[in-house]
Amino acid sequence: MKEFELKYGCNPNQKPAEIFMENGADLPIKILNGKPGYINFLDAFNSWQLVKELKAATGIPAATSFKHVSPAGAAIGLPLSDTLKK
């Protein structure tokens, strides 16, 4: 079983948590910078799920932002009208 030690639990005052991957598998995401905490993983996975659902419902690319497992923003990518481009 492969493990990845996190910076901390849900909040900085909590002890570090760990993620375990079965059968030595790699994490399903690539960490680009730093050492994430548990809450960062929850936000990332919730964001990914909402992006997938928005894309499935609208057929349009989407982006989301989460802060402490609550959606902070969501958007879909529509071309700007000529008026908005100005």
Span 10-33, pLDDT tens digits? 888 988 889 888 888 888 888 999
Q: In which residue ranges of the chain is pLDDT below 70?
A: 1
Q: What is the percent of the chain where pLDDT is above 90? A: 56
**pTM of the predicted model, to two decimals?**
0.79
3-state SS record for the chain: CEEEECCCCCCCCCCCCEEEEHHHCCCCCCCCCCCCCHHHHHHHHHHHHHHHHHHHHHCCCEEEEEECCEEEEEEECCCCCHHHHC
Q: Which CATH architecture has domain 2-85?
A: 3-Layer(aba) Sandwich (3.40)
Domain-by-domain residue ranges, the chain?
Answer: 2-85
